[in-house]
Amino acid sequence: MARWAIPLLIPVTVIVGGDAAAPAGSGVREVYGHVGIVLEIDPTTDLIVAVDAVYITELARDFVRRLLIGYCLADGFPELQRRITEHVLFHSQGALVVALRTAVQRYYAYKAEPANR
């Protein structure tokens, strides 16, 4: 049996991710090829507690974080999509929406499993 010098802290949150091809001509496509997003979610409250996104600048990543952290996924996807389409005015906005939708759908599929309700 393995013994750990430092106790393992098992999080009560889950993470989900999604990605989408970045549009031709966008800076993010030149650097990464895609737009990706990772959400850390508290499944007891459905709140997004942390966000990371694939974007070129820290400012863009921080801005997306501030748009999404604190949102309750029990309120549905349309409001999240509205936040992105009204506030993220990049060429790759559509790819971000697709990546976000994929991540949220993965979370909803996780929550639909009887063991995770």
Q: Is residue 41 part of a domain?
A: yes
Q: Is residue 104 part of a domain?
A: yes
Q: Is residue 5 part of a domain?
A: no
Contact status, residue 38 vs residue 55, Cβ threshold 8 Å: no
Q: Is residue 21 part of a domain?
A: yes
Structure tokens at 41: 């979610």
Checking if the pLDDT of 108 tops 60, the result is: yes
Count Cβ atoms below 10 Å from residue 46 Cβ, excluding itself: 15
How many domains would you assign to the chain? 1
Residue 31's domain comprises 14-116
Rg (CA), the chain: 16
Q: Is residue 4 part of a domain?
A: no
The CATH number of the domain holding residue 52 is 3.90.1010.10
Q: Is residue 76 part of a domain?
A: yes
Please tell me what DSSP assigns to residue 25.
T
Q: Is residue 3 part of a domain?
A: no
Q: Is residue 1 part of a domain?
A: no
Task: Give 16-60 pLDDT, tens digit per residue.
Answer: 999 988 877 777 776 777 788 999 999 999 999 999 988 778 898
Dihedral of alpha carbons 76, 77, 82, 87, sign? positive
Checking if the pLDDT of 2 tops 60, the result is: no
